[in-house]
Structure 1
Amino acid sequence: MGEFDGRKALVTGGASGIGAAIAARLAAGGATVAVLDRELGELPAGQIGVRADVTDDAAVRQAVSEAVEKLGGLDILVNNAGIGAQGDVTANDDQEWHRVLDVNVVGMVRVTRAALPALRKSDAGAIVNTGSIAATAGLPQRALYSASKGAVLSLTQAMAADLTEAGIRVNAVNPGTADTPWVGRLLDSAPDPVAERAALEARQPHGRLVSADEVAGAVCYLASPTSGSTTGTSIAVDGGMQGLRLRK
């Protein structure tokens, strides 16, 4: 018997990177998985694809409704869709601030709003939000991104408080710098990609980038019906970046 046998899951941003790893891990545990993304590509066999941009409320409602219908219900929502941003507090104009917050924060709200009626019918409803270590550690040149992920962390706690009586648990995973397509693009745009990768690896105490599979493992722990007493919290998957201060 798989840990998620009989469970139905929806993963936003699930067509690539961390989202794809989460979807694969849930499916391997026995869940029936739907992926919501702007570009679906070729999903693994058995996964259900629904297309939507999380900044479009009507499209989100339609896509979530379609996913719930095809899944036959919903037990797990993973709010993983998000975008990055670079620079200090002066680096991004108002339009970019609105764009990033619209995707990373309000997009999460839109999907959750649409999914809640189905989640309320589950006997073990769970929401897992993808945050970032940028929410709890001051990182250079990440002002806008950090603000968005700080909002995700606070939103997670507030949602957990509101949904406890409905039997829906809400938690977050805070990855460190992960080996994802977005980080790959950052490295490619750096003047010295090799030196930039070395710097990103060195700032995490275990000396390397976090893997998408490691983040997926934490998400699945929080989503599991066996974690029934875990709600309103976050797990850092960051190689010790948040909590450790090693002597060099």
Structure 2
Amino acid sequence: MELIKPPPPVILDHPGSVRFAAGSETGPRSHTWRVVGKTNSQGHDDIYVGTRQTMNLIKISLHDAKPPRYQVPSTVFTWNERDSSNAQVTRKMTVIMERTEPIVPGWRHELEILTPTTTFGTFPETPRLKAGEVIQWWTPPPNPEQLSFHFYIGDAESRLDSMSDHVGDVCQMQLGSGRKLWIVAQSTPMTDLFAEDIRNHVASLPVDPRLIQPFTLRKLPNRAPLLLDLSVMYHPVS
């Protein structure tokens, strides 16, 4: 694990939002990832995860239990399907993924975002940040190390004092129901085989600029869903 100097973490004692990215604001970079925690009037929590540019179109939601729709806390992938011209939404799609097993009592690893430098793009932040909005920038480690970001959610009655095998905290957020969100960054070496797999995957993607391809989702049994950042496919309209 390559040691890097992490940016200051975001610590919230209430539901809120955080934005983070890997790379450089003026050079090669990942997408800006946005995480929003909300608590509704019934005391149920929702955590929404997506890129800042496309979160309203495609995202991951980490839902609290909401019977009858969600009998237990659920990880949900939602996106909009469009017509052949990519001009209109034809239907909204939803996939509910299986829960992960607890890593310790009361805590689950719910999501991973991988931001390899091989999928970085170069573009200005669009749209421009509003007043008061900031991005937490993470400097990538030297190859073959790569950054990834891991989401852990703890039950209201659970306690976890520290997290091992990470290079820094992105965010700790207290939710209205008492549940807790903890996002950490990891730096791990990428094998040549995995790097080649990513290159082949990116090369296979359609290059139509009208398509919305902020990330690729992979879900393996008993593993947290993995989102592969595809900022290399992002070409903002000038």
Q: Structure 1 length normalisation: TM-score?
A: 0.26
Higher relative contact order (CA 8 A, sep 6+): 2
Which is helix-richer, 1 or 2? 1
Which is strand-richer, 1 or 2? 2
Q: Structure 2 length normalisation: TM-score?
A: 0.26
